[in-house]
């Protein structure tokens, strides 16, 4: 029997080539989209659901990619390296009786006794443990009560505990005599270090809970209280100026490290983006 030629357009011929998309059809995923693995509309409009607009995190892990990739690592380390270098320079000059120490003592003698005594004494007391530490304690209790941020409060408490661990050995090693009273162990200033870490750490803890209009002011307020403490200590004759400068540099390193720790979203923020600009 003679076979009849198979007509064209049969089912076998349809399987020979991949199916072609229909004009105007929508795909669940678009090749080459900005965020692979998330649904996109074929007409180019943004997705209607918030989840559809989310991108995967770095290295493909779940989460959202932050809008600001951050500064380069070296640029972000410049403030920390600058504080550490300045602290090393001041400490070397004080310990070696260098020319910077001689100039510091001349400046200190010219400043001692300036200003009204009640005001300068009040400023110096801002760095005492009975004033500065309760401020940090209240801030830590508030963030634990308000946001259950136990790890953030613990990080601030560890930074405060690091102050005597760093300051006391330096005082014993350098043994710098006081400006007006007998005794040694004036460098670096413990009151200045206590004020810097207590007020600075409290500001870092409270900033995410403050209104947006107040967040840019919280760190300047902490810095003003710290500088006021150092001014009061110098004017009252409790410390030389370099004692205060050395403490500021040392605690600047501590606060920069603490700020970096408080910005770890996966560890301490538990996925909540709270930190405002400039912190």
Whether 132 has a pLDDT exceeding 60, the answer reads yes
Residue 28 maps to a domain: no
Query: What per-residue confidence (pLDDT) applies to 51?
Result: 47
pLDDT band at 77 (very low <50, low <70, confident <90, very high): confident
Residue 13 maps to a domain: no
pLDDT band at 63 (very low <50, low <70, confident <90, very high): very low
Supply angle C-alpha 138, 246, 227, rounded to 5: 50
In residues, how long is the chain? 279
Between 62 and 86, the higher pLDDT residue: 86
Residue 63 maps to a domain: no
**Domain of 192, in residue numbers:** 77-269
Domain count, the chain: 1
Residue 191 maps to a domain: yes
Residue 122 maps to a domain: yes
Whether 12 has a pLDDT exceeding 80, the answer reads no
Query: What per-residue confidence (pLDDT) applies to 5?
Result: 52
Residue 264 maps to a domain: yes
Calpha distance 176→195 (Å, rounded)? 21
Whether 279 has a pLDDT exceeding 60, the answer reads no
Percent of the chain at pLDDT exceeding 90: 56
pLDDT in tens, 208-258: 999 999 899 999 999 999 999 999 999 999 999 999 999 999 999 999 999
By three-state DSSP, how is residue 142 classified? helix
pLDDT in tens, 19-46: 555 554 444 444 444 444 444 444 455 5
Residue 205 maps to a domain: yes
Calpha distance 262→256 (Å, rounded)? 10
Calpha distance 265→60 (Å, rounded)? 17
Residue 140 maps to a domain: yes
**Site of tokens 């659901």:** 49
């Amino acid at each position: 029997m003679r076979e009849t030629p198979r007509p064209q357009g049969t089912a076998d011929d349809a399987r020979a080539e991949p199916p072609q998309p229909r004009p105007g059809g929508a795909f669940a995923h678009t090749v080459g989209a900005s965020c692979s693995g998330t649904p996109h509309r074929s007409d180019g409009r943004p997705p209607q659901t918030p989840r559809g607009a989310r991108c995967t995190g770095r290295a493909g892990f779940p989460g959202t990619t932050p809008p600001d990739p951050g500064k380069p690592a070296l640029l972000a380390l410049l403030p920390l390296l600058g504080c550490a270098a300045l602290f090393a320079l001041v400490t070397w000059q004080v310990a070696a009786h260098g020319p910077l120490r001689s100039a510091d003592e001349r400046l200190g003698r010219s400043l001692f006794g300036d200003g009204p005594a009640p005001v300068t004494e009040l400023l110096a007391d801002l760095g005492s443990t009975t004033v500065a530490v309760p401020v940090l304690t209240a801030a830590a209790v508030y963030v634990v009560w308000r946001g259950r941020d136990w790890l953030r409060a613990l990080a601030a408490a560890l930074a405060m505990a690091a102050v005597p661990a760093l300051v006391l050995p330096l005082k014993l090693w350098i043994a710098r005599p006081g400006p007006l009273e007998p005794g040694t162990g004036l460098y670096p200033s413990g009151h200045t270090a206590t004020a810097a870490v207590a007020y600075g750490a409290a500001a870092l803890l409270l900033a995410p809970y403050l209104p947006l209009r107040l967040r840019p002011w919280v760190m300047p307020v902490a810095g003003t209280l710290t500088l006021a403490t150092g001014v009061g200590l110098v004017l009252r004759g409790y410390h030389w100026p370099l004692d205060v400068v050395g403490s500021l540099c040392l605690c600047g390193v501590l606060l920069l490290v603490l700020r970096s720790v408080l910005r770890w979203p996966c560890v301490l923020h538990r996925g909540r983006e709270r930190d405002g600009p400039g912190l």
